[in-house]
Structure formats: C-alpha cells, structure tokens
C-alpha cells in the first residue's frame, strides 16, 4: 500500500517512522515544499522515497495531511479527483472548519483525525519513533466517511498503536480548546510575562523545573499555532475567559489573605492527578 505523507515535520515524520516498521505492508512516499526537509527525511529514514510531483501523491492509496490546519483546508480542495478508493486522513489540531471545508464529492474518502500527542519541536529532525504509541487518536464525524476509509484508517491507527476515540468535530474543538489550545496560549503568555520583567541572566539562573515545564510549549511553532487559534477562535476565547476567572479568584484570595480558601482551591486542582 502506497502511503503519501504531505508534510514531513514532527507528525508526518513520526508517522513515517512508525509505518516503516511494516515494510511488507506500506511504502512511504514523502512530500514537502521545503527542500531541506526533503533531504532530512531521506537521511533520517522517515520515508522510502521523496516525490516532488503532487500527481504521484494523489495516486497513493492513502494520503496523510500532516501540515498546518489552514494548509489542510487549501490542500484538500486539490484532491477532488483522487480515486474513489483513496483514503485521505488529516491530522489537524482543530477539526470543525476542516470537516466543513471538505468538498462534497470526496467527503466519504476523508477521515478527520487529531493525534493527541506531540512536542514543542518541529521539522523532520523532531520525528520520534513511538510518538503515537498508546496516545489518543480522535476521529471526528466518522459517519461521514466511507466504510472502506474507516477500515483502512483503523488498520493504520492500530499498527501505530494509537487509541482511537470518536466524537463530533464541534465537540472535539471545544474540548481541545480547554485541554490543548488554551494551555498553549497560557504558556506563550507566561514566557512573555517573564521576558518583559526579567533579564536573561536571571532567567537562566533562577528558572527551575516548574517554570521550564510550563514554558516549554511556548517554543512551539507560531506559524502552526496562529492557524489553530484562528480556526478555533470562539472556543479558545471561552477557555481563556474561564482561565482568567480562575486567576482573578486566586488574586483576590491572596489580596484578602484568604489562605484557607486558597489552600482549598489548590486542593481542588490537585484532584486533576486522580484523573490523569
């Protein structure tokens, strides 16, 4: 089965690594506009070959869109003439606008998915061998996809050992805003707050594990996350408002020296670890 992976960064490159463990099942063809990424993907053995001809990608049995969410919407418009048995899988971090943008004539051929995994790094050198193993793969609006496409996607997800969860695209985007997108906004805000108040010497000297953990994802690609914030704008604004209310509550308890209330507030937050 020829699998064309469009986008050879962290997500696409890691998928290539995972699928190359099954050389008798899959032949991986990579496609990326960045020539440096093309060379790195071959050197790192993320793909079996690189194609600069998009028509070759369109003839693959499976096409993976591992590119920024705005680019997914643009690219999917160019796939209207793929074979009826082709399976197109997008890996976008927001799903509603992508799902609604899919041309009607190929809607059954598309699986809208979101791997709930990743790091702050990007590019082919960021690819990780077991990135998808035991991680959740959210599949949205699966009833709009064909049985063949659902079956093929499930086989691929099973081979990379992902845990498939089904939900609607609108539901996904609201959950993702709170669990993924808002935390990125908070991390960017934290990084900017510290950078505007402290010089680099103090940051290097005093930054401990807590600060490093919370600010780590502020190193994520602004190009990618600007697109995600734009596509999931309304849900993100709601999640930021909820977060801001918690910060206002914390500030007020400190101002009022309500240490008992603050302690209880922290205990409630501790209970998150009973879930995770």
Domain harbouring 180, CATH code: 1.10.3660.10
Q: Which of 167, 191, 212 is the last residue of a domain?
A: 167
Same domain, 119 and 181: no
Same domain, 162 and 180: no
Residue located via tokens 């705005």: 70
pLDDT, position 268: 94
Same domain, 126 and 228: no
CB-based contacts of 203: which residues, under 8 Å, 6+ apart? 194, 195
Domain count, the chain: 2
Angle value at C-alpha 49, between 154 and 127, nearest 5 degrees: 60
> Over the stretch 115-136, which tens digit does the pLDDT of each residue have?
999 887 889 999 998 999 999 9
CB 163 within 8 A of CB 137: yes
Same domain, 145 and 219: no
Same domain, 142 and 200: no
Q: Which of 151, 167, 183 is the last residue of a domain?
A: 167
Same domain, 56 and 118: yes
Same domain, 89 and 187: no
Q: Give residue 98's domain range.
A: 2-167
Strand bridging mode 110-115 / 136-140: antiparallel
pTM: 0.85
Q: Which of 135, 151, 167 is the last residue of a domain?
A: 167
> Over the stretch 198-249, which tens digit does the pLDDT of each residue have?
676 766 666 667 777 888 888 888 988 999 999 999 999 999 999 999 999 9
pLDDT, position 106: 97
CB-based contacts of 184: which residues, under 8 Å, 6+ apart? 217, 218, 220, 225, 228
Instruction: Return the structure tokens found at 65.
Output: 């869109």
Cα–Cα distance, 80 to 96 (Å, whole number): 19
Residue ranges in the chain whose pLDDT is less than 70: 198, 200, 202-208, 276
DSSP string across 25-90: T-EEEEE-S-HHHHHHHHHTT--SEE---HHHHHTSSEEEE-S-HHHHHHHHGGGTTS-TT-EEEE
Same domain, 161 and 92: yes
pLDDT, position 266: 95
Same domain, 97 and 187: no
Same domain, 182 and 269: yes
Report DSSP state, residue 9.
Answer: S
CB 66 within 8 A of CB 7: yes
Same domain, 74 and 186: no
pLDDT, position 198: 66
Same domain, 93 and 229: no
């Amino acid at each position: 089965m020829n699998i064309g992976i469009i986008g050879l960064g962290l997500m696409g490159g890691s998928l290539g690594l995972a699928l190359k463990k099954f050389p008798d099942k899959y032949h991986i063809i990579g496609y990326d506009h960045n020539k440096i990424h093309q060379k790195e993907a071959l050197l790192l053995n993320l793909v079996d070959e690189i194609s600069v001809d998009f028509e070759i990608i369109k003839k693959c049995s499976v096409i993976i869109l591992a590119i920024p969410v705005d680019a997914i919407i643009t690219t999917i418009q160019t796939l209207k003439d793929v074979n009826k048995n082709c399976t197109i899988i997008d890996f976008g971090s927001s799903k509603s606008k992508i799902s609604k943008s899919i041309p009607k004539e190929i809607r059954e051929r598309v699986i809208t998915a979101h791997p709930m995994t990743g790091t702050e790094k990007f590019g082919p050198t960021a690819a990780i061998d077991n990135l998808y193993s035991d991680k959740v793969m959210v599949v949205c609006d699966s009833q709009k996809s064909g049985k063949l496409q659902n079956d093929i996607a499930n086989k691929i997800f099973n081979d990379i050992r992902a845990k498939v969860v089904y939900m609607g695209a609108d539901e996904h985007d609201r959950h993702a805003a709170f669990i993924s997108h808002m935390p990125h906004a908070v991390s960017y805000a934290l990084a900017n707050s510290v950078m505007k108040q402290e010089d680099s010497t103090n940051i290097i000297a005093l930054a401990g594990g807590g600060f490093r953990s919370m600010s780590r994802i502020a190193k994520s690609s602004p190009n990618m996350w600007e697109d995600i914030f734009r596509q999931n704008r309304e849900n993100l604004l709601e999640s930021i408002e909820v977060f801001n209310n918690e910060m206002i509550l914390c500030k007020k308890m400190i101002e009022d020296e309500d240490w008992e209330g603050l302690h209880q507030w922290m205990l409630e937050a501790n209970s998150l670890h009973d879930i995770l």
